[in-house]
Structure 1
Amino acid sequence: MSDTPPEPHNWGRWGDDDQIGAANLLTPDVVKAGAGAVARGRVLSLSLPIKGSTSSNAPCTVPHLRGRPLPQHFMSIDGGDYLAGAKPPAGLSIADDALIVSPHGTTTHMDALCHMWNGSRLYNGHDSARIRSYGALRCGIEQLPGIATRGVFLDVARHRGRDILDPADRITAADLEAMCAAAGVTIGAGDAVVLRTGWTKQFYRSADTYWGGEPGLATDGALWLAERDVVAVAADNSAICGLNAQGGADEDLDGDIHMIFLWRHGIYLMEMLWLEELAEAAPATFQFVVAPLKIVGGTGSPINPLAIL
């Protein structure tokens, strides 16, 4: 077990105190170039819905990983009064919300740089002992204001002539190169790459198949993207990488996709996106905008990514 990552990595690249990683690549020119990718002025949400209640199976109707606590959504109008006893004026009705969400594996979300690490050091060498039960004191999700940049859409399923990839399918560097060449796109520093496998749709066809492994990015594909200085990688599966039938990754630590992106390079990961409307529109590039909730010390956050075409 090593406290320092293998080369290549971004530790120290933006200073010893850096906690935002590849977000440092979002220079004014990069942000403005992302806005320049807007052609039609159409806005698409890339998020799954959050459904939850204590009296229905609503949370189970949205893709999620088994064993994770499902979202819970309570409405005060149903009798759970979250107004602390306040009485509204006569004739006025108020509906209020309380929402409990564990984002990893249960909804569209972004991983913070403190989400996974190896040894005793987080991204950029920060001490992992600063991860406490009350939150992460280094590299928490609140460190990232948000991302506004050019999105590059790579529909892997369509590239392979499929609607949904098979669970054993892996997205290689050769796949990424071929798709970029076909689209006439060169991935550049600060881009956000969005990968469609079609896997979110699989849940609605067969939840058991959805839970029996999933397609995803291969190690050489992850290294290829990291080499191009992307700020984020987003996908419609639950782990960016592929998963085996037991729900685990087959790569060793040096080849683990989360280790390559989060720990070694400070590249953000966004999982469980809904990409079907984006696939219908089929843009090669677009403006990608997303912001996490300011959860102090959070290892991740629910998000609603936007594609502005």
Structure 2
Amino acid sequence: MTKSPKYSDLPLNKGDPFRSAWGLYGKDDQLGTLNRLTEDIVLEASKEIKTGTRISLNWPMDVQNKTPFFNRQVFHQNMYAKPPRCVNDDVWTFNTQSSSQWDGLRHFAYQKEKRFYGDVTLEDIHTPGSTVNGVGAWSEKGIVGRGILIDYYSWAQNQDPPIPHDAFATSSIPLEHLKAALAAQGTEIRFGDILFTRTGFVSQYTSKSDDELKTLAAVNPPGMAGVEQSEEMLEWIWSNFSAVAGDQPSFECWPTQKEWMMHEVLLAGWGCPIGELFDLEKLSEECKRTGRYSFFVTSEVCNVPSGVASPPNILAIF
């Protein structure tokens, strides 16, 4: 793996978009920051397995069937019998971003430049038969390594006075708060870690009535809490992580509070997977019970060579 340059050295090439790292891993690279998950780093991460406790971070695929946000298509299952045998088959149709998901490198471009990771164009992606930047490239080795949870929601509720947090309102979670929660947990970051942020979205979503969710989902674009958009946040992610994920729908505060979006830099600039709508409730409980907020992560994206995004199929193992 090529050693990562300093954040201040980005972009790597004159004329490339804001803070991009195009070319760091080669002209035709499809893995981005997943290149940080070397065999040595994964082997070291496997030492996190102590008890064999396994926790799924996958929200049900049909969870938003009544009230989809961002006007996305809901999950649909067509199950049918196959007489004369006593046999069933089923067909699923769904938007890959209607529940837990990894955003792939075809999902979000630099909006002004209209360029995806590696200077790929929309035309490149839509060329018949093209698999460039397809999520299937991640399936060969998966997203596997050491995960850490920042349980921001619990930390905020335990402050005196508690820090108010509405997951359904446009608001930014400051980097200093994430670092304070990390310190309170006693969690150490290691280079190449996979970051998970529990912000309370899933907890608050499941506590709302259907009518409340319908009202919130009707707002377009919806307001969502997420991590702050700042160069300090970007530098922190660049300096530490191979992928980032959270329970919130957009990971970052939405709509953006800047002239740029973190999605542009993470996905189009660095090839950094963004996980969204992960169910971190049981994970939070286990971390609190054990006092341990690091674990082994295994996530196998669907092997769809031209895919834009994928369910994570993810487990945390203690």
TM-score by length of 1: 0.83
1:81-100 equivalence runs, <5 A: 88=84, 92-100=85-93
Partner residue, 1:112: 104
- Rounded to whole Å, the distance in 2 between the matches of 1:308 and 1:154 is 16
Match of 2:294 among 285, 288, 302: 285
Corresponding position of 1:55: none
- The offset of 1:133, in angstroms, is 7.4
Are 2:147 and 1:151 equivalent residues in the alignment?
Answer: yes
Q: Separation in 2 of the partners of 1:34 and 1:26?
A: 10
Distance 1:160 1:32, change over 3 A: same
The residue number in structure 1 matching 2:259 is 252
- Is the 1:114–1:136 Cα contact (8 Å) retained in structure 2? no
Is 1:305 the counterpart of 2:295 in the alignment?
A: no
SS of 1:76's equivalent? strand
Deviation of 1:39 (Å): 2.4
| 1:39-118 to 2 correspondences below 5 Å | 39-51=50-62, 59-60=65-66, 64-77=68-81, 88=84, 92-104=85-97, 106-118=98-110
**Partners of 1:51 and 1:71 within 8 A in 2:** yes
Aligned with 2:226 (options 198, 203, 216): 216
The whole-number CA distance in structure 2 between the counterparts of 1:21 and 1:73 is 34
In 2, the alpha carbon distance for the partners of 1:210 and 1:230 equals: 32
The residue identity in structure 2 corresponding to 1:13 is L
- In structure 1, runs of 5+ residues without a counterpart are 53-57, 82-86
Q: Please state how far the C-alpha of 1:66 moved relative to its aligned partner.
A: 4.6
Query: Deviations for 1:167-207, whole angstroms, at most 9, x for unmatched residues?
Result: 24422221222223233333232210000011112222221
**What fraction of aligned residue pairs are identical, expressed as a percent?**
26
Deviation of residue 271 (structure 1)?
Answer: 0.6
Q: Structure 2 length normalisation: TM-score?
A: 0.81
Alpha-carbon distance, 1:45 to partner: 0.5
Q: Deviations over 1:35-79 (max 9, x none)?
A: 111222100011111239xxxxx822xx731521111101013xx
Change (3 A) 1:268 1:111: same
Distance 1:222 1:133 in 2: 35
**Count, aligned residues:** 282
User: Which residue identity lines up with residue 184 of structure 1 in the other structure?
Assistant: G
Q: Equivalents in 1 of 2:307, 2:70: separation in Å? A: 22
Alignment check: 8 A CA contact 1:202 1:210 kept: no
Residue by residue over 1:151-170, the C-alpha shift from the partner in whole angstroms, topping out at 9 and shown as x without a partner, is 01001111111698312442
Question: Which of 4, 17, 23 pairs up with 1:12?
Answer: 23
In 1, Cα distance between equivalents of 2:122 and 2:189: 32
Aligned twin of 1:84: none
Distance 1:3 1:305 in 2: 38
Change (3 A) 1:251 1:286: same
Q: Are 2:106 and 2:116, in contact at CA under 8 Å, matched by a contact in 1?
A: yes
Q: Which amino acid aligns with 1:304?
A: N
User: Over the residues paired in the alignment, what is the CA RMSD in angstroms?
Assistant: 2.4
The 1:299/1:225 distance shift into structure 2, 3 A limit, reads farther
CA distance in 1, matches of 2:270, 2:174: 19
**Equivalent residue number for residue 174 of structure 2:** 172
Structure 2 unaligned regions, length at least 5 = 1-13
Moved more, 201-210 or 294-303: 201-210
Residue 266 of structure 1, CA deviation: 1.2
Alignment partner, residue 8 of structure 2: none
**Matched letter for residue 57 of structure 2:** L
Q: How many Å apart are 1:288 and its aligned residue?
A: 1.1
Q: CA deviation at 1:134?
A: 5.7
What code does the residue aligned with 1:301 have?
S
User: Could you list the per-position Cα deviations for residues 106-143 of structure 1 after superposition, in whole angstroms to 9, with x for gaps in the alignment?
Assistant: 11111111211122421122333212176753111011
